[in-house]
């Protein structure tokens, strides 16, 4: 009975591996430079359905459709910026993995730095308060005359 279960398990793994390998289909690129451009572009764009995956990494149906659409736009001679502008117009700036620095993204870019500086300010204030309290405590007389 055990050899049968092992064979069944191996067969299921093989089928799952083939299904996963076929999830991202190869595309007929003209040359290696076009393939590299496609890979670079799909790594710069976020899948609209997935939370934190690039179009290149996602297996979602919309990511597959967008990869095909990007490939078609590349075949039509569109530049990377034109492709990005099309996707931003359709899906907003969320689709860009590296959003540009605009007044709407200042908090995104500088928020972590502000939080870090605020935390450093709190730590410095606490250290100064303790050092002042320590110096006042050492200056006060410890003998108040009540010896038991």
pLDDT of residue 9: 67
Determine the Cα–Cα distance for residues 16 and 9; give it in Å rounded to an integer: 11
Q: How far apart are CA 113 and CA 148, in angstroms?
A: 56
75 lies in the same domain as 109? no
pLDDT of residue 136: 67
Q: Are residues 88 and 116 in the same domain?
A: no
Task: Supply the pTM of this predicted model.
Answer: 0.56
Q: Contact 67/25 with Cβ under 8 angstroms? A: no
Q: What is residue 16's predicted lDDT score, i.e. its pLDDT?
A: 57
Q: Structural domain of residue 36, as residue ranges? A: 22-100
Q: What is the pLDDT along the chain (148 residues), one digit of tens a residue?
A: 577 767 766 666 666 554 444 445 677 888 888 889 999 999 999 988 887 888 888 888 999 999 999 999 999 999 999 999 999 999 888 888 777 777 877 887 888 999 999 999 999 999 999 888 877 666 655 666 666 6
Residues 94 and 29 occupy one common structural domain: yes
Confidence (pLDDT) at 22: 42
Instruction: Give yes or no: residues 40 and 105 share one domain.
Output: no
């Amino acid at each position: 009975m055990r050899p049968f279960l092992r064979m069944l398990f191996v067969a299921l793994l093989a089928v799952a591996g083939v299904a996963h390998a076929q999830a991202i289909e190869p595309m007929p690129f003209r040359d290696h430079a076009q393939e590299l451009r496609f890979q670079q572009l799909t790594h710069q764009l976020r899948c609209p359905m997935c939370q934190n995956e690039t179009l290149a990494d996602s297996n979602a149906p919309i990511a597959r459709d967008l990869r095909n659409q990007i490939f078609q736009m590349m075949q039509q001679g569109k530049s990377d910026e034109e492709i990005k502008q099309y996707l931003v117009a359709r899906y907003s700036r969320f689709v860009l993995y590296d959003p540009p620095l605009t007044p709407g993204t200042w908090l995104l870019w500088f928020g972590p730095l502000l939080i870090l500086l605020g935390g450093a300010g709190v730590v410095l204030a606490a250290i100064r308060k303790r050092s002042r309290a320590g110096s006042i405590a050492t200056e006060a007389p410890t003998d108040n005359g009540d010896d038991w």
